[in-house]
Amino acid sequence: MFPKKVYYGLRFVLALAILPEGKLRGVAEIAENEDLPLKFLEAIAVTLRKKGVVDVKRGAGGGYFLAKPLNEITLYDLMIVLDDKMEKPIEKEGNNANKAAGIFLQEVRDDYDQLLMKYTLDKLKVHYTEENDHIMYYI
């Protein structure tokens, strides 16, 4: 249902979200740590930067960081940026059956968009923290 680009984008944002305050991380380091394809992640990072989700500090000691808090970034924000299908217009021209189908699909898309807007990415970090709490180390 969700394209890999969105899945990888979430992992990229999460990798930045778990950094200590003021720390930055490069795309290559995140790609290696998360076992993600570097070129693909670089393209995602550039797209997210252009849309204001993340920002970058260039030069020595530089890297990416979140441009705003997780509770201000919704799943819709990532989807609209990373999923090309989200902005494709729904056809509502032609015969009555085609118009009816288009109107119906537009209603569904509008509801889907509203649902995605309800989910802020701070919940992503909560799930990550909960998963880390389940890890047990044995000696």
Write out pLDDT tens, residues 19-35. 988 899 999 999 999 99
Question: Which pLDDT band, with edges at 50, 70 and 90, does 66 fall under?
Answer: very high
| Domain-embedded: residue 76 | yes
The whole-angstrom separation of Cα 61 and Cα 45 is 17
Q: Taking phi first (over 0 means left), then psi (-120 to 50 degrees means alpha), and beta for anything else, what does residue 69 get?
A: beta
Tell if the pTM clears 0.95, that is, is over it: no
| Domain-embedded: residue 139 | no
54's enclosing H/E stretch is: strand 54-57
**What Cα–Cα distance (Å) separates residue 76 from each residue in 7, 20, 107, 129?**
13, 26, 16, 22
Per-residue pLDDT at 61 = 80
The tally of domains found in the chain comes to: 1
Q: By residue range, what is the domain housing residue 117?
A: 4-134
With contact defined as beta carbons under 8 Å apart, do 122 and 70 qualify? yes
The whole-angstrom separation of Cα 124 and Cα 129 is 9
What CATH number is given to the structural domain containing 110? 1.10.10.10
